[in-house]
């Protein structure tokens, strides 16, 4: 549409006027104008962090010469006409305030030529006033040059950071749009040096390599489709579309081994518009529950696609925040998509002996088959090798279902046909078939797989097994509880008693039948069955202390914290010898877990040494 001044009725419904806070704010608005104009090549040049000069050049449709002066009027835009258009915004810009706001605080030169015009136009403005306007030649597209930013606003100028800091903010803006539009080419030149350039290939993975580097990009997992057989044109990126208001979630998420100390690496887009939202970011963090170490946060680049009518982008002056019509649906769609991808594709950490120590390719993608280490017919070989101990597996049956358990203190839970940890027969297993070889330092189970040697942390693995069994039992209202013959009296400190009082209902829901007994004393009548072999008093005090410190939970709720703490206390500890049947049963139950690669605290349950690495160390290759 041609550029026009919005009516007062429409202008009054637009969020508070645009304010140019720093050079990056101006770059953001100019890049959005270029993208809305259909540009395929956007070049950004800055000097002294954008304070001295910033220039944005594009090959878009350009501005007709007759509309150049009008483009600098406030509320002049070609993207909306009526107030109804605000309910269905499909462009990045729509307020018609960017050029006017920039021109008010800087000296601006605009050279543009529309594609269907033979000559272009050149206009110069200073402090919001037109200085000169004349015909000029140039290629189709627009070049906007901003000089001496904030020279006439000393109060704003003194709050600018050092040039390097301002330049980093500009680079962040450019890289965000490069991620959102991988089919467009972006170039950023700072003080004469090319600091960023995207390929414009249309593949998001190529931009990830440019933004984060090759090593980090290799640890990013493409979002999976609900239909695993369906692929998109880019085999490194796929989508998951859930039946929740037609919400699509695509992008890349980091494997659990890739994490950072803050949430700054969670990058969110809705309809290719970058935005900030604590609720959606929290849904990403929640998807990694029990997979990350304490105090660490995931890396993710996510794209939410939905009907523009279901999201309001006119709620923030800088359009950095949006409002969803159904926030719960968005939260659920993002959480489920991320969780499914991480649970299915996350690789097992790989050990390197002086060689490549990078994360391994997910074993689920490499087997079954013939490998240099495992050889052909691996599953048949494993079954034969385990056959001799098959009778011993009955030792781990639930009481009443088979023989009594052995004298060892290790007793994995019985299989549950309704368990959420059991993988459907039709789904791809998350771990390779493993043959137990032995135990190392009474702490690590040594196993052979088709692609190398696996070391399994018995405590972390048992924690994961117990956590998923207990979560499954809670979901099915079949949580096993052990009643005490005599009630147990706990005399707690005031701090401990306060924690128990606050989480009394949650404790009872998790099988800890506890009730006040006056002052800071509590009476315990039952405990979860998995703690039946523990000292109840010591176990409960340790669990309460852990809940008070909240050191065992990553962004978790109280019930998840308690479940994690109970499983940690009940799991077999390092330094405990296991016999062969016990180790085989431990591995079998770990293979049935939904998230077998990490314990509930985010520590890895296993690492592996590839057959190729062993061959190199022994000089075989």
For residue 276, give every residue at least 6 positions away whose Cβ sits within 8 Å of its Cβ, in sequence order, or none. Answer: 268, 320, 321
81: pLDDT confidence band, cut at 50, 70 and 90? low
Tell me the range of 186-200, 222-236, 436-450, 586-600 where mean pLDDT is highest: 186-200
Q: What is the mean pLDDT of residues 175-180?
A: 95
DSSP for 379-429, written as a single string: HHHHHHHHHTTGGGGGGGSPTTSSSPP-SSS--PPPP-TT-TTSPPTTSPP
Task: Say if residue 122's pLDDT is above 50.
Answer: yes
Last residue of a domain, one of 315, 345, 375: 345
First to last CA, the chain: 66
Q: What is the mean pLDDT of residues 213-224?
A: 88
Q: What is the mean pLDDT of residues 275-284?
A: 92
DSSP for 103-128, written as a single string: HTTSEEEEEEE-TT-SSEEEEEEETT
The percent of residues above 70 in pLDDT, for the chain, comes to 76
The answer to whether the CB of 290 falls within 8 A of the CB of 595 is yes
Q: Which residue has the tokens 């890349």?
A: 252
Asked whether residue 411 falls in the same domain as residue 540, the answer is: no
Taking alpha carbons only, the member of 279, 283, 217, 286 closest to residue 253 is 217
Helix axis angle for 558-570 and 536-549, nearest 10°, is 140
Lowest mean pLDDT among 170-174, 438-442, 526-530, 564-568: 564-568
Residue 356: inside a domain:
no
Task: Say if residue 579's pLDDT is above 80.
Answer: yes
Task: Say if residue 239's pLDDT is above 50.
Answer: no
Q: What is the mean pLDDT of the chain?
A: 79
575: pLDDT confidence band, cut at 50, 70 and 90? confident
Predicted pLDDT of residue 376: 44
Tell me the range of 107-111, 514-518, 600-604, 608-612 where mean pLDDT is highest: 107-111
Lowest mean pLDDT among 179-183, 248-252, 569-573: 569-573
List Cα–Cα distances, 577 to 436, 463, 533, in angstroms: 14, 17, 17
Per the model's pLDDT, the better-predicted residue between 309 and 621 turns out to be 309
Asked whether residue 463 falls in the same domain as residue 598, the answer is: yes
Q: What is the DSSP letter of 305?
A: E
Asked whether residue 552 falls in the same domain as residue 590, the answer is: no
365: pLDDT confidence band, cut at 50, 70 and 90? very low
Pairing, β 323-324 against β 311-312: antiparallel
Asked whether residue 229 falls in the same domain as residue 118, the answer is: no
For the chain, the residue count is: 621
Predicted pLDDT of residue 520: 79
Residue 200: inside a domain:
no
Rg (CA), the chain: 30
Task: Say if residue 227's pLDDT is above 90.
Answer: no
DSSP for 175-204, written as a single string: HHHHHH-TTSEEEEEETTEEEEE---SS-H
Angle, CA of 253, 259 and 230, to the nearest 5°: 15
Taking alpha carbons only, the member of 319, 307, 315 closest to residue 271 is 307
The answer to whether the CB of 595 falls within 8 A of the CB of 586 is no
Task: Say if residue 369's pLDDT is above 50.
Answer: no
Task: Say if residue 58's pLDDT is above 90.
Answer: yes
Tell me if residue 445 falls in helix, strand or coil.
strand
Task: Say if residue 510's pLDDT is above 70.
Answer: yes
For residue 43, give every residue at least 6 positions away whose Cβ sits within 8 Å of its Cβ, in sequence order, or none. Answer: 55, 56, 57, 58, 186, 187, 189
Asked whether residue 70 falls in the same domain as residue 147, the answer is: yes
Task: Say if residue 236's pLDDT is above 60.
Answer: no
Q: Which residue has the tokens 């307020």?
A: 95
129 has which bridge partners?
126
The string of pLDDT tens digits covering residues 453-502 is 999 999 999 989 988 888 888 888 888 888 888 888 888 777 778 888 88
Q: What is the CATH number of the domain that holds 503?
A: 3.30.1370.100
Taking alpha carbons only, the member of 240, 232, 231, 184 closest to residue 207 is 184
Tokens of 311: 């999201």
The answer to whether the CB of 299 falls within 8 A of the CB of 220 is yes
Predicted pLDDT of residue 182: 96
Asked whether residue 84 falls in the same domain as residue 135, the answer is: yes
Asked whether residue 546 falls in the same domain as residue 429, the answer is: no
Asked whether residue 187 falls in the same domain as residue 314, the answer is: no
Name the burial class of residue 400, with classes exposed (0-12), middle (13-18) and buried (19+) by CB atoms within 10 angstroms of its CB: exposed
Predicted pLDDT of residue 230: 36
Predicted pLDDT of residue 352: 57
DSSP for 273-298, written as a single string: EEE--HHHHHHHHHHTTTTS-TT-EE
The percent of residues above 90 in pLDDT, for the chain, comes to 34
In 225-277, DSSP assigns E strands to 239-242, 247-254, 259-260, 266-270, 273-275
Task: Say if residue 446's pLDDT is above 50.
Answer: yes
Residue 203: inside a domain:
no
Last residue of a domain, one of 535, 551, 570: 570
For residue 10, give every residue at least 6 positions away whose Cβ sits within 8 Å of its Cβ, in sequence order, or none. Answer: 75, 80, 81, 82, 83, 86
Task: Say if residue 443's pLDDT is above 80.
Answer: yes
Q: Quote the pTM value.
A: 0.66
Residue 273: inside a domain:
yes
Q: What is the DSSP letter of 317?
A: T
Asked whether residue 427 falls in the same domain as residue 510, the answer is: no
Q: What is the mean pLDDT of residues 366-379?
A: 43
Q: What is the mean pLDDT of residues 588-611?
A: 86
List Cα–Cα distances, 555 to 295, 490, 545, in angstroms: 8, 29, 18
Q: In what order do the strands lie in the sheet with 606-610?
A: 435-440, 444-449, 452-457, 606-610
Residue 147: inside a domain:
yes
Predicted pLDDT of residue 353: 55
Task: Say if residue 168's pLDDT is above 90.
Answer: no
Tell me the range of 176-180, 214-218, 242-246, 588-592 where mean pLDDT is highest: 176-180
Dist CA 607 CA 188 (whole Å): 41
Helix axis angle for 580-591 and 458-475, nearest 10°, is 50
Predicted pLDDT of residue 498: 80
612: pLDDT confidence band, cut at 50, 70 and 90? confident
Asked whether residue 427 falls in the same domain as residue 445, the answer is: yes
The string of pLDDT tens digits covering residues 3-33 is 767 666 555 445 445 568 899 999 999 999 9
Per the model's pLDDT, the better-predicted residue between 557 and 384 turns out to be 557
Last residue of a domain, one of 345, 379, 413: 345
117: pLDDT confidence band, cut at 50, 70 and 90? very high
Tell me if residue 605 falls in helix, strand or coil.
coil
Lowest mean pLDDT among 240-249, 280-289, 578-587: 240-249
Residue 204: inside a domain:
no
Q: What is the CATH number of the domain that holds 291?
A: 3.30.230.10
Asked whether residue 597 falls in the same domain as residue 547, the answer is: no
Per the model's pLDDT, the better-predicted residue between 380 and 28 turns out to be 28
Asked whether residue 456 falls in the same domain as residue 500, the answer is: no
The answer to whether the CB of 119 falls within 8 A of the CB of 135 is yes
Predicted pLDDT of residue 552: 38
Residue 207: inside a domain:
no
The string of pLDDT tens digits covering residues 189-217 is 999 999 999 999 999 999 999 998 888 89
Range of the domain at 278: 216-345
Number of structural domains (the chain) is: 4
For residue 235, give every residue at least 6 positions away whose Cβ sits within 8 Å of its Cβ, in sequence order, or none. Answer: none
Q: What is the CATH number of the domain that holds 600?
A: 3.30.1540.20
Residue 566: inside a domain:
yes
Helix axis angle for 204-212 and 163-180, nearest 10°, is 160
């Amino acid at each position: 549409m041609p550029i026009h001044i919005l009516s007062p009725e429409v202008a009054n419904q637009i969020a508070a006027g645009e304010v140019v806070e720093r050079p990056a704010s101006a770059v953001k608005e100019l890049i959005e104008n270029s993208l809305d104009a259909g540009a395929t090549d956007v070049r950004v040049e800055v000097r002294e962090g954008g304070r001295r000069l910033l220039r944005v050049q594009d090959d878009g449709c350009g501005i007709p010469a007759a509309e150049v002066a009008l483009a600098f009027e406030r509320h002049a835009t070609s993207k909306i006409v009526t107030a109804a258009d605000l309910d269905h915004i499909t462009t990045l810009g729509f307020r018609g305030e960017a050029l006017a706001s920039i021109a008010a605080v800087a000296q601006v030169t605009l050279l543009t030529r529309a594609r269907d015009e033979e000559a272009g136009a050149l206009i110069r403005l200073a402090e919001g006033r037109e200085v000169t306007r004349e015909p000029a030649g140039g290629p189709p597209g627009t070049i906007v040059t901003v000089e001496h930013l904030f020279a006439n606003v000393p109060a704003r100028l003194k709050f600018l950071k050092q040039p390097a800091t301002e330049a980093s903010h500009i680079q962040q803006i450019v890289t965000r749009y490069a991620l959102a539009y991988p089919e467009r080419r972006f170039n950023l030149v700072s003080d004469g040096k090319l600091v960023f350039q995207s390929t414009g290939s249309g593949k998001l993975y190529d931009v990830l390599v440019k933004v984060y580097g090759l090593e980090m990009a290799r640890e990013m997992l493409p979002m999976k489709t609900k239909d695993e057989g369906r692929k998109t044109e880019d085999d490194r990126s796929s989508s998951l579309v859930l039946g929740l208001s037609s919400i699509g979630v695509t992008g890349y998420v980091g494997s659990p081994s890739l994490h950072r100390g803050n949430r700054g690496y969670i990058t969110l887009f809705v309809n290719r518009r970058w935005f900030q939202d604590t609720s959606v970011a929290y849904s990403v963090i929640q998807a990694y529950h029990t997979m990350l170490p304490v105090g660490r946060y995931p890396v993710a680049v996510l794209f939410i696609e939905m009907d523009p009518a279901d999201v309001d982008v006119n709620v923030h002056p800088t359009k950095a925040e949006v409002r969803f019509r159904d926030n719960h649906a968005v939260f659920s769609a993002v959480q489920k998509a991320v969780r499914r991808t991480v649970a299915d594709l996350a690789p097992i950490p790989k050990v390197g002996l002086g060689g490549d120590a990078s994360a391994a390719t997910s074993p689920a993608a490499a087997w079954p088959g013939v490998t240099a280490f495992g050889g052909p017919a691996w599953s048949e070989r494993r079954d034969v090798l385990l056959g001799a101990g098959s009778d011993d597996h009955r030792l781990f049956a639930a009481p009443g279902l088979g023989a009594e358990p052995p004298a060892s203190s290790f007793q994995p839970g019985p299989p549950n046909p309704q368990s959420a940890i059991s993988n459907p027969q039709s789904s791809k297993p998350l771990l390779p078939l493993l043959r137990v070889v032995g135990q190392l330092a009474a702490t690590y189970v040594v196993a052979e797989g088709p692609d190398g040697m696996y070391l399994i942390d018995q405590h972390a693995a048992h924690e994961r097994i117990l956590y998923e069994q207990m979560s499954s039992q809670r979901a099915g209202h079949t949580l096993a509880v052990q009643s005490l013959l005599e009630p147990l009296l706990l005399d707690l400190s005031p701090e401990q008693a306060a924690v128990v009082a606050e989480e009394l209902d949650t404790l009872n829901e998790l099988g800890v039948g506890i009730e006040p007994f006056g002052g800071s004393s509590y009476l315990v009548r039952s405990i979860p069955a998995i703690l039946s072999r523990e000292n109840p008093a010591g176990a409960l005090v340790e669990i309460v202390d852990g809940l008070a410190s909240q050191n065992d939970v990553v962004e978790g709720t109280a019930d998840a914290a308690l479940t994690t703490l109970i499983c940690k206390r009940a799991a077999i500890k390092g330094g405990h010898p296991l016999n062969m049947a016990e180790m085989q049963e431990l591995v079998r139950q770990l293979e049935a877990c939904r998230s077998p690669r990490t314990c509930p605290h985010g520590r890895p349950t296993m690492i592996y040494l590839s057959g190729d690495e062993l061959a190199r160390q022994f000089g075989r290759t």
